[in-house]
Structure 1
Amino acid sequence: MSQFTLITGDIVSYDSNQVATINATGEIKINRFAEPLFIPDSAKAAIELGRLDDNLFNLKKLLRSGYADPCPTTRVLIETTHPLPDIEGLLIKRRFSIIDFCSAEIEKSHSKAVLDTLLKLEYVQQIQLDEVMQLQPPVQFSKQ
C-alpha cells in the first residue's frame, strides 16, 4: 500500500484500486477513466468552483508521478494573474511569462496551510497537479 499526504493535509493509502483513509474525511469517487479519486470534504467547494483541479486527488496519477509518501513535496501549477507572496512551505520554481502560470512545489508538512493561503488570494485562479510521467525502460526480450 502506498500512502499519500494530499494537498489538503489529508492522508490516505492506495493499492490495487483500494483506497483507505488514514487521517482524512471525504469521499472516494471514480472518474470516467476508472481512476480513483479521494475528494476531501475541505476541498469540495474549491473543486466545484474550478479553483482546484481534481487530478490533485487522483491517486493513480499521484502514484505514477512519484508523489507517494515519503516524497516531501507535491509539484503544482498555479494559475495566477499576480506574483505570489512568500508563503512558508511554497517554493516557486518558475514563473511563465507568456501564460499566467507558475510551477511550484508544496512541502507536504505545510500543505494545508499553503493551500488555505493560496485559496484566500483572489488572483489565484486554479491549482493543478504538475503531473510527472515516469518513463519505463523498454522491455528487453531475450533470444532463445
Structure 2
Amino acid sequence: MTTHSANDLRPIRSPRGIPLLGHTPQIPDTNPVEYFNELSKQFPEGIYGMDIAGIEQVFVYDPDLVAEVCDETRFFKQIEKTPLNHVRDFTGAGLFTAHQHEEEWAMAHRILLPAFSQRAMKNYYGQMLEIAQNLVGKWESREGRPVNITD
C-alpha cells in the first residue's frame, strides 16, 4: 500500500455552485440521474464533489476508485451527518441507520452481503434484463398516453 503525505493530496473538484446554496438548486426535479451522468463528463478523474442540502457529497464512478472506497478495511460508514441520522431517531438502529460498530449493522451486513456480491449480481442479470424489457414493453404499448410509473 502506498502512503501519501497531506501535501500530496488534491482537493476533490466540483462544479460551480451557487453561493450559500451550493449545488442543490441546480439538480433538476426530472431525471436527476441523467444530470449526474452529464456532470460526470466534466470530471474525467472519476470523482467529483457537490454541496447538496448543506452536506458535502462525493460522487465516485471510476471503477478503480469505486473499488477503493468500497474497501471496508479502509473506510467506515458514517450516518451522523446524513439524513439517515434523523431516520434513526424514529426507527432505531437497522441496516441503513445503525453505526458500523453496532451489532444490528453487523448482523444485517452478514445476512445481505452474499446476496449482493459481484457473483450474485451477475446471476441476477438475466432476470433483471427480462424485467426491464417487460417494463419498457408495457410503457411502449401506452405510447402517447400517460403512464403511472408507480403502478
TM-score by length of 2: 0.25
Q: Which has the higher contact order (CA 8 A, sep 6+)?
A: 1
TM-score by length of 1: 0.25
Higher strand share: 1
Higher helix share: 2
